[in-house]
Structure 1
Amino acid sequence: AADLAEAVRSGDAGRVRDQFLSNHTQVRLLVERDRLLHVACGFGHLEVVRELLQHGVPPNLAAPNSGRRPLHEAVSAGFEPVVRELLPWIEKQQQQQQQPQADGGINAVDNRGRSAVHAACEQGELACLNLLAAAGASLNLPDSGGVTPAHLAAGRDHPELLKRLRKRCGPAAGNALMSARDGKGLTPAHWAAASGATRALHALASELKAPVDLPDRQGNQPAHLAARHDRLNCLRLLADRGVALDLPGRAGKLPMHFAAQFGNLQCLHWLLEQGADPNAQDAEGNTPGHWTNLSGQAECFACWLRHGGDSELANLMGENCAQAARRAGHPVLMATVVKQPTDNAAKSPSCPLCVEKDRKWKWEQAHQSAPVLRAMGASARRVYTDPLGDYRANLNRRSQDSRGLRSAGAQAPPLKPRLR
């Protein structure tokens, strides 16, 4: 058994053939028990795969723990020749069975309910997806959690697979797949925004015409998930596509509340710079300042204060920011921001983005020319003349005169030499 497993892993088809010739029945049982066909497909040993299939090893045998088939392993690893070799054997096995759909065939799923198409979209294997689609695999089959191949392709930032899925499914089914919901009500746009897959999100919003503002079961749009997971590029992309960033999600929270709660400073700073209301309240009356105090996000709290946040505004429980910080166990940290604001992070927490913005503004003000100098510069630009302008004008005039004299039969006077 050890020698057979080593031969399969090393890709030695000759040794595998010799093992079958010595004791065919026992070797086949060992191959099925140890799932050596899975191993050969995962390593991409095409000749070994052929030997095993020709000696009667089932091509669609499920692994005991994961339920994955040899096709899953070959597709996940991106071995297109192995996938091409397996597909006819799987089809042949289906035709020989009395119940063709007993093992699922090409659409066989693992213990999570995911087929080989899911594996191709998750790993970004476009060539394998084309082979599966040409063989008749289902491209919109959800797994046990309602996750379709489009969700996996969007979450892993594979826009080319999203386009191929839509093209293969057709206009109607393709559009439905691009807006399909999983068990939590998440669309492919939610998956892309949460994982920071900007290329996939751009493809969904532009070429694929998929909706990027649908709420999930909790009421959160892709913009809320982008702010929750600190995906600033996705937030900017959604804003460029015209998605409103001030719509309430779960519990009335705006994307700004999620960014403040989870300490995503870049998203919070950008949203405030774009003109978001710093004192907007959710369904419980909490402002972004309340959430920064409840979660102990000092830098976000400092950024919120710099953009006009009101720390005395009370929520529905009657708590202001300081009281919320005291209840959550962060009173000292937040008090240093309110009472002793400073740009020195060693003394008091501060927003580095706000500090950098102020530093640039001060530098520009310090290096800006005085009004008198600006006026003098404008006057100098108005009266400035080209040093060679007179010479060029003289040269052009002489050329015109010489052409006129030549037409009259006279000789033009010589030009004055250029002064050095």
Structure 2
Amino acid sequence: MDVNKKDKIGSTPLYLACRHGCHDTVKYLLDLNGQAFNSRVDHVDTTITNKKGWSALHVACRKGHIEVVKLLFDVGMNINDTTNSGSTPLYMACLKGHYDIVKCLLDLNGQEFNSRVDTIIKDKEGWSALHSACQNGHKEVIKLLNYVGININDTTNRGSTPLYIACQEGHYDIVKCLLDLNGQEFNSRVDTTIKDKEGWSALHSACRNGHKEVIKLLINVGMNINDTTNSGSTPLHKACLKGHYDIVKCLLDLNGQALNSRVNITVKDDKGWSALHLACRNGHKEVIRLLIDVGMNLNDTTNRGSTPLYIACQEGHYETVKFLLDLNGQEFNSRVDKTIKDEEGWSALHLACRNGYTEVIKLLIDVGMNINDTTNSGFTPLHMLVLEVILKQ
């Protein structure tokens, strides 16, 4: 019988035994003649991989079967073999947080570090074993990798560092570990200034994903709170876009003051959008309230001339529009200039009519917006309503 026969996905009997951690079966397959390694002509071929390029060692490491892993080492399996996607056995073990497997791989001969293991190998997306461990929050594994000198500032193909990945996922303990590996206030080996290819820092990523405690750590070690991405977005922009109230409050009130003077609320992105524009775009009313409380310009315009009110009307956010028009509990908030038009002469009312937002239209008319106002092309709000009806048919 062919001991190397594959199933539909390319798995051999040895692979399946390793996958399920069947130590005695693996030992039997590797030692059919009672020798250290089965040397029969039709011997078990340990180099065979499945359709994804996974070897028996890859699957044993991923599943955490340490005794099986040791057997495979004993017969000389390639410890640096890579799958079709470029993953090594070490990567697999780090991905799943198998501390004992990682320690075994790094210290096979009882030495401080096993020189057979290549820790610099990355997968096809440029992820190292450390990136993998950081993504999944495996603190003790990260300590092992750091101990053997893996590059803590290594970047993926997209420019992400292990710190960036940990911040993106919100792993507080991992971020703290990376920033304080030597028990100091700040680990100087970690370069917090590295950005990905889109210019995002670890702080941008944490703000975008709403990880408040991580953000506090990053600010405490001096990360630039006003840093901008390639498109001009600040961490505040990212938090406002997603409506992370606690994050926005944290950024604006880091020192328990009415406004954290370190935060520049006037920064706009490359399209001229402020944090307030972004919050209005997605209808984050409580975030909008915070921004207005610290004095953001209600009538600020984008490069195309759009105000926060205009943006809210364009998206049909009734509650946001009502809030902007009635900030002080009055019938109409006089701070909002409803006459501002964009570069094509469109008012907020034109936009609401064009998109058929009936309740928003009523609000705008109630505060006295000009129902006969025309765009640069001569269109009135009524024209826009008719166009909207025609396009729906």
Is the TM-score greater than 0.5?
yes
Summarize deviations over 1:253-308 as a string: whole Å, max 9, x none: 21010011123333223323444332222232211111112223222222222223
Other-structure match for 1:324: 351
Counterpart-to-counterpart distance in 2, 1:315 and 1:135? 58
Q: CA deviation at 1:27?
A: 3.4
Counterpart-to-counterpart distance in 1, 2:100 and 2:55? 20
In the alignment, does 2:63 pair up with 1:37?
Answer: no
In the alignment, does 2:125 pair up with 1:108?
Answer: no
Other-structure match for 1:15: 25
Q: How does 1:379-390 map to 2 (within 5 A)?
A: none
Other-structure match for 1:67: 86
Aligned partner of 2:207 among 178, 193, 203: 193
Other-structure match for 1:4: 14
Aligned partner of 2:306 among 265, 274, 286: 286
Counterpart-to-counterpart distance in 2, 1:35 and 1:292? 55
When the two structures are superposed, what TM-score results if normalisation uses the length of structure 1?
A: 0.72
Structure 1 residues 36 and 93: alpha-carbon distance in aligned structure 2, compared to 1, 3 A threshold: farther
Q: CA deviation at 1:20?
A: 0.8
Q: How does 1:144-159 map to 2 (within 5 A)?
A: 144-159=157-172
Q: CA deviation at 1:192?
A: 0.6
Contact 2:88/2:121 (<8 A) preserved: yes
Summarize deviations over 1:316-353 as a string: whole Å, max 9, x none: 322210112334x2353421333469xxxxxxxxxxxx
Other-structure match for 2:384: none
Percent identity of equivalent pairs:
23
Give unpaired runs (5+ residues) of structure 2. 6-11, 33-37, 255-259, 328-332, 368-393
Aligned CA RMSD, in angstroms, stands at: 2.7
Structure 1 residues 281 and 198: alpha-carbon distance in aligned structure 2, compared to 1, 3 A threshold: same
Question: Counting helix residues as a fraction of each chain, which structure ranks higher?
Answer: 1
Summarize deviations over 1:87-107 as a string: whole Å, max 9, x none: 1359999857xxxxxxx9112
In the alignment, does 2:40 pair up with 1:27?
Answer: no
Q: How does 1:149-298 map to 2 (within 5 A)?
A: 149-168=162-181, 174=188, 177-206=191-220, 208-241=221-254, 242=260, 243-298=263-318
Q: CA deviation at 1:73?
A: 1.5
Q: CA deviation at 1:8?
A: 1.6
Task: Kindly provide the amino acid, as one letter, of the partner of residue 335 in structure 1.
Answer: I
Task: Kindly provide the amino acid, as one letter, of the partner of residue 94 in structure 2.
Answer: V
Summarize deviations over 1:19-43 as a string: whole Å, max 9, x none: 1112454331336864222211111
Counterpart-to-counterpart distance in 2, 1:146 and 1:223? 21
Is the partner of 2:86 in helix, strand or coil? coil
Task: Kindly provide the amino acid, as one letter, of the partner of residue 247 in structure 1.
Answer: V
Structure 1 residues 262 and 185: alpha-carbon distance in aligned structure 2, compared to 1, 3 A threshold: same
Other-structure match for 2:376: none
Other-structure match for 1:117: 130
Task: Kindly provide the amino acid, as one letter, of the partner of residue 233 in structure 1.
Answer: D
Contact 1:121/1:129 (<8 A) preserved: yes
Number of matched pairs: 331
Counterpart-to-counterpart distance in 1, 2:174 and 2:360? 47
Question: Which range is displaced more, 235-244 or 132-141?
Answer: 235-244
Contact 2:64/2:93 (<8 A) preserved: yes
Give unpaired runs (5+ residues) of structure 1. 97-103, 342-420
Counterpart-to-counterpart distance in 1, 2:313 and 2:295? 22
Structure 1 residues 303 and 35: alpha-carbon distance in aligned structure 2, compared to 1, 3 A threshold: farther
Counterpart-to-counterpart distance in 2, 1:19 and 1:139? 40
Q: CA deviation at 1:110?
A: 0.5
Aligned partner of 1:52 among 62, 72, 75: 72
Structure 1 residues 204 and 184: alpha-carbon distance in aligned structure 2, compared to 1, 3 A threshold: same
Larger Rg: 1
Counterpart-to-counterpart distance in 2, 1:52 and 1:176? 36
